[in-house]
Amino acid sequence: MSKVIIIAEAGVNHNGDITIAKKLIDAAVTAGVDYVKFQTFKADNLVSKDAKKADYQTVNINDGDDSQYKMLKNLELSHENHLELMSYCMQRNINFFSTAFDVEGVKYLNELGLSFFKIPSGEITNYPYLREIALIGKPVIMSTGMCSEFDIKQALDVLIKFGLEKNKISILHCNTEYPTPMKDVNLKAMLNIKKIFGVEIGYSDHTLGIEVPIAAVAMGAKIIEKHFTLDRSMPGPDHLASLEPDELKAMVNSIRNIELAMEGTGEKKPSESETKNIAIARKSIHVNKKLTKGNIIAEDDIISLRPGHGISPMEWENVIGKRILVDKNEFDILLASDI
């Protein structure tokens, strides 16, 4: 089984503060993820000044201002910020990653040398955005929150039309509600995406807790993306639906354990670690009364007891009626050489 790629989504949980952003990188390193991901945008290219916050953003920020534009303007990362965070990731030996939300942002991230692109759920119907990513030709991970199968097919058609090879595309099942109610997760849809579109699959999670991404890995997800924060009580749109550092680490450890548990040929046989327990846990035939050499063994002369290094109780019928060759005391184990 290939290693699951784990992307820790810092997103905008830095609250526009480069110091907090670096602390998020530190937490991602401690957790052992593969990538720490931010968001690259300019509010002027992303939303109109009249755009309202989503309900979850209004609730999570609770500042009395429903302007999505003002919120995003305060969360932008400058060019200098990007360079500083990339440099810090290099120092900390973790992969820097970011998501762009418009054509200009895609071109910018390509100039920074990112090795692949992430299409967020909100951009899956953004034709010029998809076209630009396809023309660059680098591998793509595409989230599918709010999507139907038709939406996914349309986006794939655009990517492939403009030259992106299908084997470079991975699709993440996702639900774009923060936090996602468990009843709306629909993990089976991830498997249908793989079946219908023939791509590598993963899961971008917005539920509370770590159970669902772990389950997704057990079901075959090769990429996991999860929001994280330094503290869920911080103000900001995504903190409440994010993991705190100790939870992120627990998720990573659990996923790595699931990877180990999923290894193997699938053949059912005793493992190396449990072989030593066979004789201890299983039973063998013992005599349940004193028997003398020459006695014919009857059913009420024998009993199944631990340990299991004697004759297997599965030979029960073959032992009955045999002549015993040595004297046996009550509860002595019966060996093949004894009959």
Choice between 59 and 249, residue whose per-residue pLDDT is larger = 249
Q: What is the pLDDT of residue 33?
A: 98
CA distance 271 to 274: 5
Query: CATH number, domain at 311?
Result: 3.90.1210.10
Single out the residue in 208, 237, 262 at which a domain terminates. Answer: 262
Band of residue 38 on the pLDDT scale cut at 50, 70, 90: very high
Domain assignment of residue 125, yes or no = yes
In this structure, are 252 and 304 located in the same domain? Answer: no
**Final residue in a domain of this structure, among 199, 231, 262:** 262
- CA distances to 22, 173, 299 from 122, rounded to whole Å, are 27, 13, 74
Residues 287 and 173 in one domain: no
Closest CA to 283 of 301, 302, 308: 308
Assess whether pLDDT exceeds 60 at residue 57. no
Judge whether 268 lies within some domain: no
Structural domain boundaries, residue 298:
275-338
Q: What is the mean pLDDT of residues 253-273?
A: 95
* Mean pLDDT along residues 71-98: 95
Q: How many CA atoms lie within 13 A of 26 on its CB side?
A: 8
What is the domain count for the chain? Answer: 2
| Residue 243 within a domain | yes
| Assigned domain for 269 exists | no
Q: What is the mean pLDDT of the chain?
A: 94
Strand partners, 35: 7, 95
Residues 160, 205 within the same domain: yes
In a domain, 46, yes or no: yes
Query: What residues contact residue 121 under an 8 Å CB cut-off, 6+ apart?
Result: 143, 144, 145, 146, 147, 174, 176, 204
- Encode 248-283 in three state secondary structure: HHHHHHHHHHHHHHHCCCCCCCCCCCCHHHHHHHCC
**pLDDT tens digits for range 159-174:** 999 999 999 999 999 9
- Give the domain CATH number at 68: 3.20.20.70
Contact 221, 4 (CB under 8 A): yes
User: Could you report the per-residue pLDDT of 185-236, keeping only the tens digit for each?
Assistant: 999 999 999 999 999 999 999 999 999 999 999 999 999 999 999 999 998 8
Residue 270 lies in a domain: no
Q: Give the per-residue pLDDT at 60.
A: 61
Predicted pLDDT of residue 43: 78
Indicate whether 248 and 311 sit together in one domain.
no
